[in-house]
């Protein structure tokens, strides 16, 4: 079976499992950790497919075994023992199709390197080994994926830019920036996330919050701009 037929079949199975579980596309998106219902619609319409990690979440949410999503629709539902025997083969085939298909993956798995303050200077906190599936449809097309990373926001100084406490920001690592961009700035072991602007005739760089409760910050000596924020996402928790 060709990869497009496999993607169509997978989409029908996701839609069927969602409906039987009495979930809307929005509810499935939230529970599976993806940001928009468009992502779920693309899966169900055969235009993209979830990553293997997300597919496992969908299986858990809809109380279906992963092999059920992958097996041929004309193949009878297997017993538990048979399903377990086939799981490794089916998952390996799925990985191979992910690598070989021309269809885009629905998500991009990125490292979450730590937390950064959206407020005053705070100590940067690292999160070794944490990853997050960022929606591929929202990934900037001009941005390299292999160097990108995420940081978790701590604080409320950027709320008027749509960046809330606990959000994950997508960072393009670069020392270069333009006025009006949101940058990630480090100063020794501390870091913050702010708009960058210039003040006075000598165009001194300053950091501006998106919350009137926070005053502008000057960049102390030794400050480094390590990246520019290119996107934001948040994970909606379950009740």
Which sequence positions are flagged as catalytic?
157, 194
- CB of 226 closer than 8 Å to CB of 173: yes
Tokens of 2: 């060709």
The burial class, CB within 10 Å (0-12 / 13-18 / 19+), for 220 is: exposed
CA pair distance 135, 168, nearest whole angstrom: 12
- CB of 52 closer than 8 Å to CB of 32: no
DSSP-derived 3-state class of residue 113 = strand
The burial class, CB within 10 Å (0-12 / 13-18 / 19+), for 237 is: exposed
130: Cβ contacts below 8 Å, ≥ 6 apart: 111, 112
DSSP codes joined into one string, 201-231: TTTEEEEE-SSTTS--EE--TT-EEEEEEEE
Phi, psi of 166 (to 5 degrees): 95, -10
Which DSSP category does 239 fall into?
A: -
Task: Name the residue among 223, 233, 207 with its Cα closest to residue 150.
Answer: 233
């Amino acid at each position: 079976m060709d990869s497009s037929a496999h993607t169509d079949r997978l989409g029908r199975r996701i839609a069927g499992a969602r409906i039987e579980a009495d979930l809307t596309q929005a509810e499935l998106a939230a529970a599976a950790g993806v940001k928009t219902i468009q992502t779920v619609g693309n899966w169900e319409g055969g235009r993209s497919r979830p990553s293997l990690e997300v597919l496992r979440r969908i299986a858990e949410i809809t109380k279906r075994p992963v092999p059920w999503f992958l097996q041929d629709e004309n193949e009878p539902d297997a017993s538990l023992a048979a399903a377990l025997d086939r799981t490794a083969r089916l998952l390996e085939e799925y990985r191979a199709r992910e690598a070989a298909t021309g269809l885009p993956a629905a998500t991009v798995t990125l490292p979450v390197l730590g937390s950064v303050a959206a407020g005053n200077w705070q100590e940067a906190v690292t999160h070794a080994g944490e990853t997050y599936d960022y929606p591929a449809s929202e990934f900037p097309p001009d941005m390299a994926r292999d160097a990108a990373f995420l940081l978790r926001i701590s604080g409320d100084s950027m709320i008027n830019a749509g960046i809330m406490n606990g959000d994950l920001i997508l960072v393009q690592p670069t020392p270069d920036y333009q006025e009006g961009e949101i940058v990630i700035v480090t100063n020794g072991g501390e870091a913050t996330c702010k708009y960058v602007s210039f003040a006075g005739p000598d165009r001194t760089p300053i950091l501006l919050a998106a919350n009137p409760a926070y005053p502008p910050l000057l960049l102390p000596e030794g400050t480094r701009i390590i990246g520019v924020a290119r996107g934001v996402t948040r994970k909606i928790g379950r009740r």
